Each structure stands twice: as C-alpha cells, then as structure tokens.
Chain A
C-alpha cells in the first residue's frame, strides 16, 4: 500500500463506522461528531441500522468538511470495520481510495490486503491492555481523532465530560483508550500518511449540533407544546423521549399511551381542556390513529401529528427510511375535513414548521402534520442556531360566557374555541354531527351547513401556505422537484451538476399545495421529481392539483435515502 494516500475530495471526508449492534458504534459516533465540531470542523452524521438490540450489522456515516455539510454520500474515505462482516456490509460503498482501519483478528477472512487498502489497527488488543475489550470503540474514536490531528486536549476534555457520570475507573479507562487510539496513528509503522486539507471553519464550536428528531421536539416546545402522548415506534420515538426528558422543565405532560388509539384520543382530550398537544408516530401507528384524526376533523380540534415515515406496508423495515406515507397522511380519516401537511427538509425548517404547526392548528382548529422520515430524524449536523426572535406562541382560546356555543356559525367558518372551566359558558363537542351548541343532531340542512363550515377553512388556509423553496437560476430549463427530507441531498447533487440551466424546487408544505406550483412547472422545459418511494406520490398530488404530469421520476425505495453521488448520476442521465 502507498505510504501516502489522499481522498477523492481533500476538503470533505466521509468516515463510516461499521459493526454489530451493541458494539458501541453510537458512542463513537457521538464522541466523534462532537469532537469534530469542537475542533472547528463542519460535521454531518447519519446511520443505517437493523431492527435489533444486539448483533446484526449497523453503520454510521460521519462527514467532515470545510464547508457546511448536510447530506449523505455513498463513498467511504475511511472505514472503521469493527467486526467480521463489516466490510462485506458496506462493500458497494468502498472505492479505490477507501482506507480501512480494522483489526486483523476480529475481521478474520475479510482481511484481504490484495483487495483493500487495509491498516491493521489493534483496537481490541489496545483496549484489553487498558482493562477491557469493551473500550475498543473508544480506542477507534481516538484513532480517527488522531488521523485528523485534532488537539488531544479537546478529545480528552470531551471524553472526560461525556463519561463524567460514570465511575472514576470508567472515566480513567475511557480517557486512556482515547489517548491510546490517538497515539496509534503515530506509533503504528504501516500507518499511511493521509493527505487531506479540511479548513477549520471559524465558528463551528459556537454552532449547535442536533438531529431532526431534536429539531422537531425543540420546535414543539417553541410552539408551546405542553402535552405529548405517544406509543413507542421507530423512528418517531426520539421526539417523545426528548420531551419526556425535558417535561418538568417546560411543564409538559409526556405520557406513553397503551396504544396509538389512546395516544391520539388523549391528545384531542388535552386540546379540549386547553393544552397544546401532539402525537409522534410512524405509519403503522398512524394507521391506528386515523379514526382519531377524523375525530379531530369533526370536533374541529387542533392536533399536531409528527409522522416519521419508515418503509411499509405493515411492519415493513422498522429502522429504515421512505417517503411513502404522503398519501396516507393526505387521505387518512373518514369523512371530509381540512388539514395541513408540512414536510421539512433542513433542520431550521423542521424546527420552525413544527413551531408554526401549533399556532396554525390552534388558529384553524385543524390537524397539522409534520411529515418526516427516519433519514431526517436520525441525521444530524451543525447549524448556526435557530432564530427565536420571531417566535410567538399564539393562543386562540376564548373565555366563554353564558349561552356560549362551541360551533356557532360564523362568516369564515371558525367558531371561537372555548374550553371547560374558563368562563361561565359550557363547552360541548360531539363526534356525531352536531348543532351549534355541540349536541347531536340529524337536522340534514344543518349537516350541510356544518360540512361547509368545516371545509370553508381550506380557503382560509390558502393565505397561510408556505411557498416552495426555489434554488437555481431564474432562466432555468430543467426543474427538479422534491419534498421533505431529500432537500439537502438534492441541493448538493444539483450543485455538483454545475450547470446553469438546472434549478430545484423543494416543497416544505405539500398540502394544501402552494399556488406557485403551476407557474414554476410551466416554465420548465423538463421537469424531474425525486422521491424516496415507489409510486411517486407527490407527482400524483401535483398532477391532481395542477394538471401537470411529471414523467421523469427518480425514485428509491430500498429503505435507504439517496446518496449525493447516486442522485447526481441519475440526474445526469436524465439531463443528457
């Protein structure tokens, strides 16, 4: 092997850690991403994993770059293979420049030096010498830090803080492991000198590093969320976990319900009594919630639904990603009633749209969806922060007086929403068709009026639509349409196309569909759509509302998100 190696891009390195569940990959990922950021690098991380507690094969990708980095790439520059089968697991992503750091003994027959550029690093041996082979993951983290010549003090400080709640011995051994790993880079004779040149950004240390799930949860707090009821389901659970952790601090009731049916009925009950409630779930759980969604439609109850998609049907691939529940969110719930569906891509949008969801749900008394997916909720990167200056928790509850009627017919369809115990009026809500006072009725003329009242809000919602984000030259000829989590992947792919006739249009609100859609599409000579599903659900929605069909579809539905290079290549094929 050459003694001097360089990667495909000198200022943008992709590191992949691969091993079994339970080997502490998450710890390495956690340590390294924080350490890189503290050392002044931009960092992005995403993971793919199997639905099991132990064993299987999982991998985490960490990208380290001079500029902001927000998307997943296929290529691997440095692979840390922690056990047998690891290389095999990611073999399609290994390229000629990939350097594999692995321990000969643990990798076993995979260790084929003629095929791969391998460096035998004694992770386990070093860990055992320190006291226990379980430290091998931290040794590996130290080795990567050493490769990047990160100030050892930064590494030690963070490792010390990270394990600070553990016993003195554990802290000591982890510190020793990180240091040993770090020094292996210098001490090992056949360690290649790797040439890369990632400029340190000025201020990443002062930036925040967070995941999509955390952006949803923080956005919920910013939206005044004080009630979350949910049933654990990958990949949506992290939002419940985060809000439960901070429940006391922010006066939040965080309850794990017995099932998703209970969860959504609790959330609707909570809104009825004056809370600002949300549920978090994935497709299968949301399927159970659909009657509750319809209840929200009938009661004109606000509700915020975080729907983190994963591949279906049924149990599907529990820990993987897909964008195949757009139509589920759109058409779920029997009967006709309005709703809003947001599909954020960037972390900033994820935060702000979740925040806004609570205000809109309250203002229009309707369900508002935050449609994310496993890729979005489990990926994270550094961003400057969130602008909180414009954050307003808008409350639309009214104090009732005697004779108050919950469903009084008004000109715009919105009846002032009272809650029980606030004022001298009584608040009645009913899942049956009801009169203005909220009591059961079979007056069929009134039925028509009530349907019209509920649906008239759709017209009002048109004034609130978040326009799609257009990126590219105004005189574009080719337009790429995308929505939700693919935002940053498309952004990077389009940049790497380096063409002056290509633009992309990202929808962060997919329903009601923004009015600008038709104009953008009509201007393009060629339209392409990128979706993480098999039937191009968003293209169907666009066709329905604009009459414009999109023939050029770039779809992926194997359970993984797009890689930047893969998308670039598929776009190139369509463009040429």
Chain B
C-alpha cells in the first residue's frame, strides 16, 4: 500500500523544523502502509501535546481526547469494536506524567492496542519544563537548579508489569524504528514502543547526537527472558534500543471481557434483547 493513502494534503503542521515528530509521522505511515491497514479500519487516539497532534496530520479515524487520557479511550474503542486497529500515541508528559495511572493499568488490562510514546525528555508545548523522563541535572525555567527527580523508566515499569510487548526505538533511525512499530502493531496484546525523539527547541541536552552516542541496539537478547529484559531496561550508562520483552501468550482485554467468544459482532451491530429483559424483570417477583 502507498503511504499517500494517509496523507492529509496541504496542511499547516505545528511542529518546529527538525522536530523528531516528523520522522515518527513518516515511520508510522510507512509501517501501516506496509501492513496494508486501511485508514477506515484504523483509529489514532491521542492526548495533548506536540506529539499528540500527530492524528491531525494523518488521514484516518481520529480520537484526539484529553491530556493523559488517550489510553482509557483507546481501550474502550478497541473493546467496543475489536475489528479496528487502535494506536494510542502521545508524548512522554502525556503518557507517563498526566496519564501515568492509565499507563500502569492499561498494561495490566492488556487491550490489543499499540501505545507509541514520543519520548523527548521535555515538555515542548508548554515551553521547556521537565518531563517525567528528563535526565537528572537537566535545567529548565522551572527546574532552575536542574532536575533531581529520578527519571521515570517506562521500559522497566512495563516489564515489571509483565507487559505483553515492550520496545524502545530512536526517531533518528527510520528503518529500525519502522520495523519495531510493525512488530508492535501486529503483536497481539498491549504493545509499548517508546521512541526517543530530540526536541530541537527546548532540549539542548538530548540531541540527535546525544541519542546516537548514548544508545545501542540489543544483540543476542532473549526477549522472552523477563529478568534479562529488566536488567537491560535498568542500564543507565547506555540505553538499549529494540524489543526488550514480549510476554508469553496472554489473553487480551477483548478476549477476557467475555462477550466476543460466542459472537464476534461489534457492539454497534448488536441489538438489545427486550424479551430477555422482560424475563429478568420477572425474576424480581421472587429475587433470591
């Protein structure tokens, strides 16, 4: 499939020139085109922030909700209609800060969705404050003496929660990142792809060059080995890229909710059964 199918045409994009969001947009289009996913069967769900604007630059179904709340909406969209491919995509502030609680519980719930997080270690849209993943010592107009909070480690948290699929990529490497995104989208169950992405306007520390120097690709890594994955995830001198972990066949949220086992119709295709309701109301004559 040609990536043009997802093109919005002549639109005004709100990102800065050189922003890491641009390659991610292209990577996503290419990955989804390679996977032959039709725009009508795809829903991009996002929150708020610069990364969260990505659905507006993408010709498909879009749910651009509240700051931090993409995951609950994405979970419900997939549950209401499991035939849709659902991708929840936002930045590190949205997914790990404002939406941190949902991040944890969505992993536990394991809906069959992909969660792509643009991780630039800074708040861009609000002009340069620390994000949950900002490195210690990172100075901002608010954190004037440098960040002293332990950076949030989404990879380690996801592995600790036995997430179904956990990967990290770098926006500067289009081919490898596309590969990881394709694996994530085709993986059955919740799939996290944390994508390192430089912010050219507000993060002068974690630049393209910095990411190149501080990352490496996992080699001879057993992604079924949770302990090994956790060890790699907690390394802080050099940051690993690639698929850290996939858990063994886990039932998805849609499988667990129990209404699709005997009937695969999506909710909108089903009709309420008023006769059944009548029978249920009858039981209130006795109601043990």
Contacts and interface: CB of A to CB of B under 8 A. Distances in A.
A252 B273 CA distance: 12
Contacts of A206: 285
Interface string B47-80: 0100001011001111111100101111111111
Interface stretch (A11-19, A417-425, A546-554): A417-425
B144 interface: no
A214 B76 CA distance: 25
Interface stretch (B37-45, B192-200, B229-237): B37-45
- Main secondary structure on B side of the interface with A: helix
A25 interface: no
B267 A274 contact: yes
B142 interface: no
Contact of A438 (B48, B62, B71, B277): B62
A263 B284 CA distance: 29
Given A222-B277, A226-B267, A438-B62, A269 B73 contact: yes
A227 B80 contact: yes
Given A248-B258, A393-B271, A420 B278 contact: no
A263 B71 CA distance: 11
A440 interface: yes
A295 B278 CA distance: 35
Contact of B266 (A34, A421, A427): A421
B280 A218 contact: yes
Contacts of A262: 69, 71-72, 101-102, 105
Interface in A529-575: none
Nearest to A258: B105
A422 B69 CA distance: 24
B288 A162 contact: yes
Given A273-B80, A431-B48, A440 B53 contact: yes
A350 to B, nearest CB: 13
Interface string A294-308: 010001000000000
Interface string A407-421: 000000000000111
B72 A250 contact: no
B268 A419 contact: yes
B201 interface: no
Given A208-B285, A273-B84, A388-B274, A431 B61 contact: no
Contacts of B41: 420-421
B16 to A, nearest CB: 17
A209 interface: yes
Contacts of B287: 34, 208-210
Among B75, B78, B267, max chain A CB count under 10 A is at B267
B272 interface: yes
B65 A265 contact: yes
Nearest to A217: B280
B66 A291 contact: yes
Among B39, B73, B281, max chain A CB count under 10 A is at B73
Contact of B273 (A214, A250, A424): A250
A120 interface: no
Nearest to A427: B61
A210 B59 CA distance: 50
A229 interface: yes
Contacts of A269: 45, 63, 65, 72-77, 80
B40 A275 contact: no
B228 interface: no
A296 to B, nearest CB: 10
B276 interface: yes
B272 A439 contact: no
Interface in B101-120: 101-102, 104-105
Contacts of B277: 218, 221-222, 250, 388
Interface string A365-404: 0000000000000000000011010010100010000000
A272 B63 contact: yes
Contact of A273 (B62, B72, B77): B77
B40 A295 contact: no
A260 B259 CA distance: 23
Interface residues of A, number: 73
- Main secondary structure on A side of the interface with B: mixed
B158 to A, nearest CB: 16
Contacts, number: 206
A446 to B, nearest CB: 14
Given A274-B268, A275-B268, A429 B63 contact: yes
A209 B285 CA distance: 6
Given A248-B258, A420-B84, A205 B77 contact: no
A309 to B, nearest CB: 25
A448 B77 CA distance: 30
A247 B102 contact: no
Given A251-B270, A427-B61, A272 B288 contact: no
B83 interface: yes
Nearest to B98: A261
A327 interface: no
Interface string B206-241: 000000000000000000000000000000000000
Interface string A426-444: 1111111000001110000
B81 interface: yes
B126 interface: no
Contacts of B71: 262
Contacts of B268: 273-275, 397, 419, 422
Contacts of A388: 274, 277-278, 281
Contacts of A432: 64
B255 to A, nearest CB: 12
Nearest to A397: B268
A274 B63 CA distance: 13
A138 interface: no
A267 interface: yes
Given A251-B263, A270-B79, A397-B268, A209 B72 contact: no
B104 A429 contact: no
A483 B285 CA distance: 29
Contacts of A38: 286
Interface in A214-269: 214, 218, 221-222, 224, 226-227, 229, 246-253, 255, 257-259, 261-263, 265-269
A393 B41 CA distance: 27
A164 B286 CA distance: 14
B199 to A, nearest CB: 20
B76 A266 contact: yes
Contacts of B272: 221-222, 224, 226, 250, 393
Nearest to B105: A258
A277 interface: yes
A6 interface: no
Interface of B: 39-41, 43, 45, 48, 53, 55-56, 59-66, 69, 71-81, 83-84, 101-102, 104-105, 257-259, 263, 266-274, 276-278, 280-282, 284-288
Sorted nearest first, the 3 A-B pairs with minimum C-beta distance are A274-B268, A269-B73, A269-B76
8 contacts: A161-B288, A221-B277, A229-B76, A274-B269, A391-B274, A420-B77, A421-B41, A426-B60
Interface of A: 34, 38, 161-162, 164, 205-210, 214, 218, 221-222, 224, 226-227, 229, 246-253, 255, 257-259, 261-263, 265-270, 272-277, 291-292, 295, 299, 385-386, 388, 391, 393, 397, 419-432, 438-440
